[in-house]
Amino acid sequence: MAATETAWQLRGEYLENCNCDVVCPCLFSTKAPMTSTPTQGACEVGFGFHIDDGSFGDVSLDGLNVALVARTPGAMAEGNWQVALYVDDQADDGQSEALQAIFTGAAGGVMGSLAPLIGEVLGVRSASIRWRKEGRERAIDVDDVMHMAVHAAPSINPDGEIWATNAHPFAPEAVAMAVGAPNSTYTDHDLRWDNSGKNAHYAPINWSS
């Protein structure tokens, strides 16, 4: 059965950290979503995903992690994205193929709607991916190439979070406004960035085909 015909679903959490000043104009501006120019001109963003429970056909995806990075030369909606995908090295062959189908957009769903914006795939490979969640903090480490952590942006209630609804395709129900922690870095595929103190988000996700 082709990837686009396979029923799949996943539930878990995601985080992201980009090089925009808080708040990223892709999320909130006077223009349509993803049509504003990033605050630094180009967008350099890392994403981490943890799957609490999921399946691709009869293949279980429970407990697996994925990381994705993207660089766009201008507004995200204009395309020409460079992307790289990292798949959990704890996945067997069937699980790895399923994760690649979902997160490259080949299997449709959320990533399928963004796939036409990709201009170049820099690489897809297996990696040791470690996900951490503690209170209002999220973090992901990918081999020795990505160390990304985010924490909730300051709010009136210091123990609370600021949530944006109807704002992000990954989690339209709500995403938390967050900030990149110190030493949130990425180095691979001739890309190098440090998004410490920059715009970030995290949220529960619930995706399906």
What is the domain partition of the chain in residue ranges? 3-208
Residue 115 CA to residue 85 CA, distance in Å, equals 13
Among 87, 95, 7, 90, residue whose Cα is nearest residue 48: 87
pTM of the shown model:
0.96
Q: How far apart are the first and last CA of the chain?
A: 14
In this structure, which topology does domain 3-208 adopt according to CATH?
Acetoacetate decarboxylase-like (2.40.400)
Q: What is the pLDDT along the chain (209 residues), one digit of tens a residue?
A: 456 689 999 999 999 999 999 999 999 999 999 999 999 999 999 999 999 999 999 999 999 999 999 999 999 999 999 999 999 999 999 999 999 999 999 999 999 999 999 999 999 999 999 999 999 999 999 999 999 999 999 999 989 999 999 999 999 999 999 999 999 999 999 999 999 999 999 999 999 99
